[in-house]
Amino acid sequence: MNQDISLPGAGPAVPRPSPQDAVEPAPEAIQNAWVQDWRAQEERALADPQAYWASRAQELEWSQTWDTVLDDSRAPFFRWFTGARTNIVTNAVDRHLLTARKNKLALIWVGEDTEQVRTYSYFSLAREVDTMANILRAMGVEKGDVVTIYLPRIPEVFFAMLACAKIGAIHSVVFAGYSSDALAARIDDSQSRVVITADGSWVNGKVFPLKDLVDEAVRFSPTVRSVIVVRNTGTTVEMDPTRHHWYHEMCQLPIAKGRCATEQVDAEDPLFILYTSGSTGAPKAIMHTHGGYMVGTYATLRDSFDIHDEDRWWCTADPGWITGHSYLVYGPLLNGATVFMYEGSPTYPYPDRWWEMVERYGITSFYTAPTAIRTLMRFGEAWVRRHDLSSLRLLGSVGEPLNPEAWRWFHHVVGQDRCPIIDTWWQTETGMFQITTVPTMPGKPGAAGRPVFGQEAAVVDENGVEVEDGTEGFLVLKHPWPAMLRTIYGQDERYVNTYWSTYPGLYLTGDSAKRDADGWFWIIGRTDDVIKVSGHRLGTAEIESALLTHPDVVEAAAIGLPHAVKGNAVHCAVVLAPGVEPDRHLEDGLRRHIAATLSPIAKPDSFEFPEALPKTRSGKIVRRVLRARALGQDEGDLSTLDDA
């Protein structure tokens, strides 16, 4: 049993599972749903998961078909669709050009000021991707090379990701809210030679200087040979003529022109790495591949969000997170959907910005995060009622538990009691939904739903034995799935230890959950040292290392505490250097330091300044005690603590 894990998680209190609460979908919402008899489909898929996934894979194009659907001979290094050849771009872009979708809008983009609008048909998206791919090729980027993408929510992030995939390069998107230190660490770890960025990004009416941060990050990075800079904010930036290239200038070069063939790659060739936080140590690079990831994101989005050609799909996630990868870029394009992307935030300049967009662009399917729902809920329903939201058909949520109160508000006020709520539980590692509903299933406020077709989940105790329904335990997944991570890039052993060693044969999610008598799963929260703050995944270890680089800090521990809007808030216990007195000024300084060395999203909400941290005799910080103290609860058994 992994010692790092302890129940309960830091998530909000879970309501008692009550199957009676189920909300049946409105008949008009499910008339044309792809999945009608979900029980039959669930049974069919579970009877033979591999046959099920093969049939889903056949809905897509492969230049060579597979020898084996699932090769588990080297488990847990599972391989899917072995021997097959394809490219995710063949299916996300190219195949649509042979149909009427060629002229369909692939992307509608609206800038933060809402005056700037750019639209791309599948045809013009293909041309843009070719241009970016030609440029990358001309810079010497080859199959298997890692390209770092550090861009705001602008169309070029689509072009860059798809261009990398097209030529078989591996993209590593870094959230454009990370600091230069965090960016540098990710560039170094992945040894990437090209960085794609922008001059700046718009954040609530102000320019965030992306290019300056890239300059700082690559100053000491010998691997980076070229930086491609997209002009976005028009900010003045320093350009080093030997390494920095304006994207719009490169587009005019002869090498950028013309078509770029989509490289047919092995199904198991890497598509991207994405860094995410774990319990310990530096962020880990989760690796996904072309074939399985393509099948998984395509099928799950189609089933759960019932994608039809007439839909307008809006996923509010940033491309820097897995949700942006799977369900803003790849999943929707694989389904030939029209994707909407908005550059700004939901509350700037007013808290009806999103509803204004839904009305103006006729959004049918809207996928967002609980923290955003709770934030907008606080502003009151009048902001929502100002807009005609009758185009909406389906609503979705991801990132942390959607508490029943927020579920009901979303359903009633935004969805006007008409739109099913699809709560999707999954992870950077899983690549695709794992526990969710399809529109024909009843929704239960506060529950995520059922394992996706072909998957089974379980709730187990510390010995790996399934607990009774209604009892909290560790959430595990029973079957491999196509979009699963293949490894932690360059750290195979860490992959095995983190996910597959605690309960042999079961995938450890790191979450705690309950299952109810109907088979619906209620997610409670993380059981390890990962904190979800406003849906962003942070590791306590990262926050602590950031604090430890501050001259006034001797020791630090970060924990998550329940927060009504953000889900969790970061609380830090800091032992100060001798002679340093804690005050407001110092706290602000520590916050600024974390923002600058990690990210503003990691800024702590509260601090305490004890003389020492509670530790075991072997020196491990006992967060359980810190959490109890901060919440004013019983500290529990202290006998294993070091007296000192």
Binding site for ligand WTA (CB under 6 A): 276, 321-323, 398-401, 423-428, 448, 509-511, 523, 526, 532, 537
Nearer to ligand WTA, 87 or 323 (CB): 323
Q: How many Cα atoms are found within 13 Å in the side-chain-facing hemisphere of 206? A: 2
CA distance 145 to 269: 12
Nearer to ligand WTA, 136 or 448 (CB): 448
CB under 8 Å to 172, separation ≥6 — which residues?
146, 147, 148, 149, 186, 190, 192, 272, 273, 274, 275, 285
Q: How far is the CB of 369 from ligand WTA (least distance, A)?
A: 9
Q: How far is the CB of 567 from ligand WTA (least distance, A)?
A: 9
Q: Smallest Cα–Cα separation from 445: which of 69, 88, 24? A: 24
Provide the Cα torsion 299, 305, 308, 309; round to 10°: -90
Nearer to ligand WTA, 260 or 477 (CB): 477
Written as one string, the DSSP assignment of 263-281 is: PPEETTSEEEEEEE--SSS
Tokens at 429, concatenated: 């590692």
Q: How far is the CB of 513 from ligand WTA (least distance, A)?
A: 9
Q: How far is the CB of 574 from ligand WTA (least distance, A)?
A: 26
Nearer to ligand WTA, 290 or 537 (CB): 537
Q: Of all residues in this chain, which one has the CB nearest to ligand WTA in the complex?
A: 428
Nearer to ligand WTA, 425 or 489 (CB): 425
Nearer to ligand WTA, 93 or 328 (CB): 328
Q: How many Cα atoms are found within 13 Å in the side-chain-facing hemisphere of 77? A: 10
Nearer to ligand WTA, 112 or 400 (CB): 400
Nearer to ligand WTA, 526 or 593 (CB): 526
Q: How far is the CB of 525 from ligand WTA (least distance, A)?
A: 6
CB under 8 Å to 65, separation ≥6 — which residues?
83, 84
Q: How far is the CB of 326 from ligand WTA (least distance, A)?
A: 8
Pairing of strands 146-150, 170-173: parallel
Amino acid at residue number 126: A
Q: How far is the CB of 427 from ligand WTA (least distance, A)?
A: 4
Amino acid at residue number 58: Q
Tokens at 190, concatenated: 């992945």
CA distance 641 to 644: 9
Q: How far is the CB of 426 from ligand WTA (least distance, A)?
A: 5
Q: How far is the CB of 530 from ligand WTA (least distance, A)?
A: 7
Can you tell me whether residue 346 is helix, strand or coil? coil
Burial class (CB within 10 angstroms; exposed 0-12, middle 13-18, buried 19+) of 309: exposed
Nearer to ligand WTA, 166 or 408 (CB): 408
